[in-house]
Amino acid sequence: MTEILDDSVRPLRMPDATDLIARTLAEDLGVTSSRLLDRVAHDVDLLMRDATTSAVVPPGAWFSGVVRAREACTVCGLPVVAQTWLLLGEAAGFEDPVEFHPLVAEGSRVEAGTAVGEVEGPAWTVLAGERSALDLLMILSGIATVTAKWQAEAGPDLKVVDTRKTLPGLRELSKYAVMVGGGTNHRKGLWDMVLVKDNHIRHAGGISAAVIAARDAFLGLEIEVEADTVEQAREAAAAGADFVLLDNMDDEMTAQAVKAVREIAERGGRAVSTEASGGITFDRLSGLALTGVDRVSTSALTLAQPVDFGLDEVDG
């Protein structure tokens, strides 16, 4: 096997993807995910669900191949690929596992045609798991690739942040891919941060009332408040928000709001971060960096176009 080409990128800890992988494989095989997760009774008939492979490939056939990037990208999801084939092989009860060996480090930038991993194992397992493994690799690499591009354009002082706009069921892995691409995670969900938006403000009776209520209810959580105007940004900072989200502002208004928030923060002797959101495009990043805003958030990261990968068999 070829040695890993680039170990300069330190991989982040990947979230547990077992349930997601099982559901992905189950969808392709037309079974329940519990059938993939039952490690007590090995399901010898599971791979018969791949009608094509079981019909035309001899049961004892062996497969050796490489996973290759078909376009330039930032690679993300190699541990998921390995786990997909491992889980499928274990569920089917094959004594010989599929071995996947990465040839690049997670987070590496590669050119089109680069082999990112080698795979060896029973052909039935490799081919039955191919689509699931590559689909996850394609989606996560797409997110990491776009994130790396956006963060490079934003520069070192402006953080590019994701949102909760993710494909259902892919939240944790999508945010992992953002980190692999060099971006920053926003809140994971509704439970780990308070984000007061216009509907909340209306029901609470104003920005200050909303911040006070949130602080009383969840003392340990950071609070972010959405502001549509410079005056609302000023009010949110004065009320005690930790972050002020500057929503759908042009660059000029963003700069004014950032200045107003910083003046109040300095007066109060505490830090208040600013975040631009809404209508954020790649072309705006360099201009937004000049406004002094601390970070920009966009769904363009987690809803990125997948990167194309393929599995090519090679002579053993």
Residue 94 pLDDT grade (very low, low, confident, very high; cuts 50, 70, 90): confident
**Residues with active-site annotation:** 131, 165, 197, 226, 247
Say yes or no to pLDDT of 42 above 90: no
Residue 4 pLDDT grade (very low, low, confident, very high; cuts 50, 70, 90): very low
Helix pair 230-239, 207-217: axis angle to 10 deg: 30
Given the candidates 3.40.50.10880, 3.60.20.10, 3.20.20.70, 1.20.1440.230, the CATH classification of the domain at 184-297 is 3.20.20.70
Q: pLDDT per residue over 149-165, tens digit each?
A: 999 999 999 999 999 99
Q: Determine the Cα–Cα distance for residues 273 and 84; give it in Å rounded to an integer.
A: 40
Q: Between 187 and 95, where is the model more confident?
A: 187
CA proximity to 80, closest of 3, 8, 141: 141
Residues 272 and 261 sit within 8 Å (Cβ to Cβ): yes
Say yes or no to pLDDT of 41 above 70: no
pLDDT score of 303: 97
Q: Which helix (H) or strand (E) holds 251?
A: helix 251-268
Residue 309 pLDDT grade (very low, low, confident, very high; cuts 50, 70, 90): very high
Residues 73 and 88 sit within 8 Å (Cβ to Cβ): no
pLDDT score of 176: 97
Say yes or no to pLDDT of 202 above 80: yes
Say yes or no to pLDDT of 8 above 50: no
pLDDT score of 38: 78
Sign of CA dihedral 45, 49, 50, 53: positive
Domain range list for the chain: 18-152+305-313, 184-297
Q: Determine the Cα–Cα distance for residues 299 and 166; give it in Å rounded to an integer.
A: 8
Residue 276 pLDDT grade (very low, low, confident, very high; cuts 50, 70, 90): very high
pLDDT score of 13: 83
In whole angstroms, how large is the CA radius of gyration of the chain?
A: 24
Sign of CA dihedral 113, 116, 120, 122: negative
Residue 12 pLDDT grade (very low, low, confident, very high; cuts 50, 70, 90): confident
Assign domain 18-152+305-313 to its CATH superfamily: Quinolinate phosphoribosyl transferase, N-terminal domain (3.90.1170.20)
Say yes or no to pLDDT of 146 above 50: yes
Residue 39 pLDDT grade (very low, low, confident, very high; cuts 50, 70, 90): low
pLDDT score of 2: 35
Q: pLDDT per residue over 109-121, tens digit each?
A: 999 999 999 999 9
